[in-house]
Chains A and B, each alone.
Chain A
Amino acid sequence: MSTTDQTTEPVDDPRPGFTDGPDGGSVTGWRCTACRHPVAQLVLYCPVCRSPVAESAFAPTGEVWASTCLRVRVPGRTPPFAVAYLVLDDGPRVLVHTQGDHPQPPGSRARVTGVADTGDLVAEPEQEELS
């Protein structure tokens, strides 16, 4: 919920990033150098064990954990828009936007394909899910 002045853009975008690559790209974040805990948001120390973290690239594929389609007005978005929690195969759980207004069902596979103009991670069903 918002309590901040939304006319001022924050310096740091808290959302996870994405790097393109020949193998489909990767979601960028951080991983603990000791316990290997993955984090999608900028941290200085591991929130689990307080050890240092290092930048990390996570596989763009994963399993949908939960999903919905928002059909109400949200600043900067045009409803309806579908979102999902995606648990990356070797990484953290990230919030992604998916195409259309039909939420991708939990338990299905999805792949992060990039970042939308809004700065949101975008995912689509993995190829086998489309067949």
Chain B
Amino acid sequence: MIGTAFVQGVGTSSFGRQPGVGAPLLAQQAVGEALADAGVDDVRDIDAVFAGTVFGAPGTAQRMLQLLGVTGVPVLTFENACATSTTALHEARQSVLSGRFERVLCLGVETMTLHFAGPITPEHTDAEGRAGLALPGVYAMVASRYEHLYGLEPKALAAVAVKNRRHGALNPRAQHGAEVTAEQVLASRMVADPLTLLQCCDISDAATAAVIGRGRGVDRDVPIAASALRSGELWDHRSTHPWGYELMARVAGEAWHEAGIGPGDVDLFEVHDAFTIGEITATEALGIAEPGGGGDLVLSGHTALGGRQPVNPSGGLLSRGHPLGATGLAQIAEAVWQLRGEAGQRQVEGARIAAVETMGGGTAGIDGNGCVVVVLGG
């Protein structure tokens, strides 16, 4: 076993609704940047590719890679809902640690506008999807349950959107780079009570990439201190917590244990804010706040840039948009830039440790399709 795996390079395409740009071109943008960032001049130095896409056609990864000249190596394609490309990274890290591969290219891609004009269509082979429970409804149910258990002020939900859009305004890659006010957030069109339009991430077309490898004595390489991955347990009449909370908490606990640190040691977080309530429950599951304390946490400024522990300094999914299979590595890229001090105006001063959490869902009866928590730096 190798002691530590490192992120040697990251890259992304542009983010946004770009229906005229196909997956191969998006991938070339992301992979080209990641390879250059890693200082990998020859693609023959890539031993394997771990790709991720949720809605891509069979062969999507190979179709992109042949145009990059990345051929003849093992190519594995992962699907784990929103956590797809962080799952690929988790598995790439394990492969490097085990010695199976020396250097793995991770690639996430999604062309959402090819499939959807608006919200993702619920899966009709799923009991709740067949009943019309689209993903905004899933998270609205989280908010409903959370409000029943702890109370939930609309201003707390709005504060997440305001904060992340403020952060996104500092991110030139963000799909939505304009700041919004709490009044605008709450006055925007209701999507699924109590979640308004500006509390929901947009769909996006994008690709993201990361090069994972062994230590090579390069200062810019970022160590992966821990990563954990699980799918949800049965989530049924016995469950009292909102959807996803217990899965996120379990995975986070494993990641903290492996890293030998706690959430208080982390300088910044990138978490899955597909909907505002998702960030509130994630901050609690990660242990930044006690259960029921996530609203006060964001209202206090603790999680804003300039606060004690910024959450989603990139602007999160609410600003960047959500190209499902590419989102996880976009979070990883932001963490890497932050830890290198390359995040520009949104730089978290003195950042040494970052944590990334990605939560994927869409299957009725379990507490999430998959959740990944990655700890970087240290």
Contact = CB atoms under 8 A, between A and B. Distances in A.
Do A and B bind? yes
Interface of A: 1-4, 6, 10, 13-16, 38-41, 47-48, 65-77, 81, 83, 85, 87-88, 91-93, 95, 97, 103, 105-107, 118-121
Given A3-B123, A4-B123, A120 B131 contact: yes
B378 interface: no
Given A2-B120, A40-B127, A85-B141, A76 B148 contact: no
B66 interface: no
B134 A72 contact: yes
Interface of A is mostly: loop
Contact of B125 (A14, A92, A93): A14
A60 to B, nearest CB: 15
A2 B192 contact: no
Nearest to B191: A72
Interface string B106-132: 000000000000111111111111111
A68 B127 contact: no
Interface residues of B, number: 46
A2 B130 contact: no
B299 interface: no
A15 B130 contact: yes
B317 interface: no
A40 B362 CA distance: 17
A69 B192 contact: yes
Contact of A1 (B122, B143, B144): B122
B237 interface: yes
A124 B173 CA distance: 47
A59 B359 CA distance: 34
Given A72-B191, A106-B144, A83 B126 contact: no
B55 interface: yes
Interface in B163-217: 189-194
Interface string B317-347: 0000000100000000000000000000000
